[in-house]
């Protein structure tokens, strides 16, 4: 995410607190997925202003663009996605979540959608012990397709949504294996265990560990219909 701003622009000054909260608070643990930058178009940077304005079509300030390195237009070129909504926290948060495939709320916590792949949730909920082999095969095929083609290609082909978290495919596999083995109590027990850990030790856990646990909780709740 890049904001093109200038010191004399009052709307840019209004944007800065929101921009800092997005970068330094809400998405501070998602640097591998999304980063926030500011390009200063002030007179001090005059030598580069004309080039930047021409290259990215900056006509108004602030201009906000989302650069997705995996997105290709039909002509094979990579172009940023312009942000055109109100420049408030709620709308910018929604835009980042949708485009970066993240699921954060305004406090930086994961939402109940984080970690989930909806069509897998639905298939696993509907599965019986004796017919989980189809889901196991689907998980295997999905893993191979991600490795071979990348998530971006699967999103382009409507096989996945941008918000689907492919890092949780192995955990879906673990859940399906438990169902296939006839462990009917696994999901309830595991959910209770994860929620106890989060309730007691949330502040002591590293951000990545906390997020991973919350994603597992979300998947288990989706399976159990909670």
Question: DSSP characters for 160-197?
Answer: S-TT--GGGHHHHHHHHHHHHTT-TTHHHHHHHHHHHH
pLDDT of residue 129: 63
- What is the reported pTM? 0.85
pLDDT of residue 63: 96
Residue range 102-112, pLDDT digits in tens: 999 999 999 99
Residues near 71 by beta carbon (within 8 Å), at least 6 away in sequence: 78, 79, 81, 152
Question: DSSP characters for 126-141?
Answer: H--GGGTHHHHHHHHH
Helix 207-224 / helix 186-201 crossing angle, nearest 10 deg: 150
Residues near 100 by beta carbon (within 8 Å), at least 6 away in sequence: 30, 33, 34, 66, 162
Cα gap 105→214, rounded to integer Å: 13
Cα–Cα distances (Å) from 178 to 119, 167, 210, 212, in that order, read 19, 19, 23, 19
Determine contact, residues 225/120, Cβ cutoff 8 Å. no
Extract the residue ranges of the chain whose pLDDT is less than 70.
Answer: 128-130
User: What are φ and ψ of residue 98, in 5° steps?
Assistant: -70, -40
Determine contact, residues 135/141, Cβ cutoff 8 Å. no
Residue range 153-172, pLDDT digits in tens: 787 777 787 788 999 999 99
Determine contact, residues 83/64, Cβ cutoff 8 Å. yes
CATH 3.40.30.10 residue ranges of the chain are 2-100
CATH code assigned to 2-100: 3.40.30.10
Helical spans, DSSP H, in the chain: 10-21, 46-56, 89-100, 118-126, 133-149, 151-156, 169-180, 186-201, 207-224
């Amino acid at each position: 995410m890049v904001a093109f701003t200038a010191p004399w622009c009052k709307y840019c000054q209004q944007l800065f607190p929101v921009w800092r909260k997005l970068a330094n608070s809400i998405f501070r643990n998602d640097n591998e997925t999304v980063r926030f930058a500011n390009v200063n178009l002030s007179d001090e940077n005059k030598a580069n202003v004309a080039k930047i304005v021409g290259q990215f079509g900056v006509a108004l300030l602030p201009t906000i663009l989302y650069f997705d390195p995996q997105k290709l237009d039909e002509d094979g070129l990579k172009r940023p996605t312009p942000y055109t909504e109100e420049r408030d926290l709620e709308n910018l948060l929604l835009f980042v979540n949708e485009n970066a495939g993240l699921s954060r709320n305004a406090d930086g916590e994961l939402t109940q959608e984080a970690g989930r792949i909806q069509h897998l949730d639905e298939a696993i909920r509907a599965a019986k012990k004796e017919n989980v082999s189809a889901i196991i095969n689907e998980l295997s095929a999905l893993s191979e397709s991600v490795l071979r083609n990348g998530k971006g290609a699967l999103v382009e082909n409507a096989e996945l949504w941008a918000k689907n978290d492919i890092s949780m495919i192995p955990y879906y596999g673990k859940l399906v294996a438990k169902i296939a083995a006839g462990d009917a109590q696994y999901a309830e027990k595991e959910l209770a265990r994860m929620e106890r850990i989060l309730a007691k030790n949330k502040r002591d856990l590293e951000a990545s560990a906390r997020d991973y646990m919350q994603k597992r909780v979300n998947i288990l709740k989706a399976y159990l219909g909670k």
